[in-house]
Amino acid sequence: MKPSSKPEQLPVAIFHAYKSAFRKLINANERGLNASYAKSIDAIAKNENCSANLLVKLLQRDKAQIARVVKDLIAKGWVTKTPSAHDKRLQILTLTESGLAIAADIAQAKQTLAAAITGNHSKEELATFEKVSQQMIDNLEQL
């Protein structure tokens, strides 16, 4: 996608280019890996003793959505559930070997994308971009 000459369309173009490159780097289509699955796997990988309730908080989704995602991740063989040693009512989510492989691909893709985004820009350009981006975020959060 080529950037628009309209500045208000640039953030959307950046978002779509990033998302498309990310999906390509992790082979999302071939794996049947949607955004919710990828975000959940990434969160489980980063949080020891991760539960569905923690995913609700981290991903800011409702319990029903997370329950469906967890069920799908288990069905795909990427995640297992085991009772917590501290609270038997709590189920701990753990990545399987194939889930760990996906998590590693996600981490690598994020590093690759960060390098691609920042690689040929000066520190000053990046500082300006960060400042303007944060202002845009702040403006949106005030809506």
pLDDT of residue 85: 87
Using the 8-state DSSP alphabet, how is residue 47 labeled? S
Q: Is residue 111 part of a domain?
A: yes
Round to whole Å and give the CA distance between 141 and 90: 33
In one-letter notation, the amino acid at residue 94 is: T
Q: Is residue 53 part of a domain?
A: yes
Domain count, the chain: 1
Q: Is residue 125 part of a domain?
A: yes
pLDDT of residue 10: 86
Look at residue 127 and tell me whether its pLDDT is greater than 80: yes
Q: Is residue 57 part of a domain?
A: yes
Q: Is residue 1 part of a domain?
A: no
pLDDT of residue 4: 54
Look up the pTM and report it.
0.85
For residue range 7-66, list pLDDT tens digits in order: 778 888 999 999 999 999 999 999 999 999 999 999 999 999 999 999 999 999 999 999
pLDDT of residue 7: 76
CATH number for position 46: 1.10.10.10
For residue range 75-120, list pLDDT tens digits in order: 999 999 999 888 888 999 999 999 999 999 999 999 999 999 998 9
Q: Is residue 75 part of a domain?
A: yes
Q: How far is CA 23 from CA 28, 33, 60, 86, 115, in A?
A: 5, 8, 21, 37, 16
**Residue 55 and residue 93 in contact, taking contact as beta carbons nearer than 8 Å:** yes
pLDDT of residue 2: 58
Q: Is residue 17 part of a domain?
A: yes
Q: Is residue 2 part of a domain?
A: no
pLDDT of residue 6: 80
Domain range for residue 126? 7-141
